[in-house]
Structure 1
Amino acid sequence: QEVEFAMNTSATPDVLASPFLDVMFNEEKVGYVIGAFGMILRSTDDGATWDPWIEQTDNTRRMHLYGLDERDGVFYIAGEQGLLMRQDPQTQQFTTIETPYNGTYFGVRALPNLLLAYGLRGNLYASRDDGGQWQQIDTGINASLISAVDAGQQMIMVSQSGAMIALDKLSLSVTPLHASRVGEVFAASGTGRDSEMVVTFFSGAKLVEIAKAN
């Protein structure tokens, strides 16, 4: 009913007015798109058709949903006011993962033996037991973290201001990085080379060289 109402009241007929903020598919062509006001749609045919999935989430307050990740067929969702959810493989319901932070998470990364949640004001939390216990990581960054790029033994955490750190996946130690300033960053992605990445900002995408700060 919510989706039908949103479609019928949209300024553009048959187009949802709620912004979509992330999308992800697994190798089995199952995927989700998430966005503002708790909007979430599910597809099992690589995006050819979609089903509303709002009622399958622990998000009755309709918090904005910002980030998706997937590990071994299980999807994770990060959102505002400390919302972090994990999919139940049996019921497909997204259930809440308790975390020590009640600010907005802009992203989640589900790695083997490591779960990361990151967001406002450089906040970064790590769990070795899939969300049972958490450790706060001192990033030294005050801007919001908006992307986590896999770089071998490290994760490169990228902030909205363009500041970056390298997080060691094993020790969870942090190394500041130097990157050319590119303005307000919207997202970042790896290129296959640890010394560079692609960042997107208002005027487009740019290849950025990264190195350890002096």
Structure 2
Amino acid sequence: MNDSTEPKKDGPLKAAMSVVLKANNVVVAEVEDPMLWNEVFAAISSGSSRLTKPATLQAQPTLPAALLPSADPAVAAVLANTPAIEPINKLAKELGVEVEILAAACDPTSTDPYLLLDLHHWEKMKKELPARGPRAMPPIVLTATLLCLWNRHAAFGSVTQATSQNVLGQISLRDNNPGRGLAGCDWLQQRPGGIIVLNPAKVSKAMCVATCFCSQDWSTWKSYD
């Protein structure tokens, strides 16, 4: 005689794996993703503070800190320094590269210095391009180009010579003649106060430079008309 109260066994129970970001006890973001869960778990188990590869989260942004029920200042501080996932996705799509490729090349963030250039990408650029001439890439031009393109989506403020030099400083470099490099660049324009903006008529050229840097393939730039 079967016991009607015995639960039916339909197969093994599958756990719903989710990653939750919290500031104090406030949930900032949550996503169900077994692959991401495994990557985060592996990072925690190994004692690493970074994933083995950048995560391409597609979660919708949560309410701004000011609209959270607690309006906790500590929560607001965490939110202010949380990487801007959606702007990164937009920039990667604009450049035609995967988010992982973009993050590996220049690691865009929403806080100063806004970019962290990868030394291997930088070395590849220097090996591929001439030191002088129309295809040369002055250090200030490369960083200002990436910052201006990133700023269109992240809206972190004005891009200046100082901002661009600060990015170079993260890899122990400095452009000793930034004015000359910027003057010879037709896709960037200088404004009073050291501000640098994109030339609206040459945005595609700036995007070509950024895409080549991220992909480590400068063939398109070498033949750019």
Report if TM-score (shorter chain) is over 0.5.
no
Higher RCO (CA < 8 A, seq sep 6+): 2
Normalising by the residue count of structure 1, what TM-score does the alignment of the two structures yield? 0.28
Q: Point out the structure with the larger helix share.
A: 2
Decide which structure has the larger Cα Rg and report it. Answer: 2
Normalising by the residue count of structure 2, what TM-score does the alignment of the two structures yield? 0.27
